[in-house]
Amino acid sequence: MIRFQDVGLHYGLGGRAGPEILRDLSFVIPSGGFRWLLGPSGAGKSSLLRLIYLAVRPSRGALSILGTEITTAPRRALPRLRRRIGVVFQDFRLLRHLSAFDNVALPLRLAGRPEGQLRADVGEMLRWVGLAQKSDSLPEALSGGEQQRVAIARAVIGRPDLLLADEPTGNLDEVQAERLMALLTEMNRLGTTVVIATHNDALVARYPAHALELDQGWLVADG
C-alpha cells in the first residue's frame, strides 16, 4: 500500500537544488501495517512523512501511496488520495480563526457530511481527547498539549485509511500519551495503516512494533 523504490528528496534552495535530505529509500508498508519512524533530529522523518502525504514530490525514484503511483498519476487524482490520509503535524497546523470544534469538524465538512450528522461525532471525539469543555476555544486559548489533542482528533475523525503522526506525544503527559496509543492501536486493529514518527523511546519500548529508522537521510533499519 506504501512502496518506496530508490526514492531521493532534496528541497529547492532559491531555484537551485539543495543537498539530498532523503537518499535511496526503498521499503514497503503493507495495508493495515504499523510502523514507528525513528531517528535523530534532522534525520528526515518529517520529510519522509511529507512525501507520503503528498506535500512534496520525490526528486527521484518511484513512490506508490494507497495503491496509486505518485510519480505518474495525474495531478487531479491527488486531492482525492490526500483526503484518505489523516495527518497529525509536528507543529499542529490548527486554523487559528476556528474553534476546537470547527477544527475537528473540518475534514467531515470537506467530505460533505451534513451538519446534523457530524455534531455528535465531533462532540464524542472532543470528549475522548478530554476537551469537551474547550469545544468553543480558539487555538490561541489552548495549551500546547490541548492543541496537540485537537490536531489528533482532527486527523482521526474522518477514519482515514492511512494515519501519519509526527511526534504526536511531544506535548502530552504520560497518561495522555497512553490514551493516544490506545486510540492509534485500536484504529490500526480496525484496518488503518499507521506511521508514527517519534523521539519518545519509552513509548516505543512499551509498544514494540516494526520500525523504520533514518539516519542522515538513509534508511538504516527496517524491522
Ligand X SMILES: Nc1ncnc2c1ncn2[C@@H]1O[C@H](COP(=O)(O)OP(=O)(O)OP(=O)(O)O)[C@@H](O)[C@H]1O
Task: Return residues touching ligand X (CB under 6 A).
Answer: 11, 18, 21, 39, 41-47, 90
CB of 49 vs ligand X, minimal distance in Å: 8
Angle between helices 115-128 and 100-110 (to 10 degrees): 130
Identity of the residue, 14 or 208, whose beta carbon is nearer to ligand X in the bound complex = 14
Phi-psi map region of 20: left, alpha, beta (phi>0 left; psi -120 to 50 alpha): beta
CA 167 to CA 218: how far, in whole Å?
A: 19
Q: Which of 46, 99, 169, 200 binds Mg ion (CB under 5 A)?
A: 46
Which DSSP state fits 198? -
The binder of 41, among ligand X, Mg ion, none, by C-beta within 5 to 8 A per type, is ligand X
The binder of 149, among Mg ion, ligand X, none, by C-beta within 5 to 8 A per type, is none
Task: Report the site for Mg ion in 51-90 (rule: CB under 5 A).
Answer: 90
CB of 212 vs Mg ion, minimal distance in Å: 14
**Strands 2-13, 16-29: parallel, antiparallel or unpaired by DSSP?**
antiparallel
The binder of 39, among ligand X, Mg ion, none, by C-beta within 5 to 8 A per type, is ligand X
CA 145 to CA 170: how far, in whole Å?
A: 8
Neighbours of 61 (CB within 10 A): 18
CA 166 to CA 85: how far, in whole Å?
A: 13
192 binds Mg ion (CB under 5 A): no
CA geometry: angle 195, 197, 200, nearest 5 deg: 125
Closest residue to Mg ion using C-beta atoms = 46
Residues forming contacts to Mg ion in the complex (CB under 5 A) are: 45-46, 90
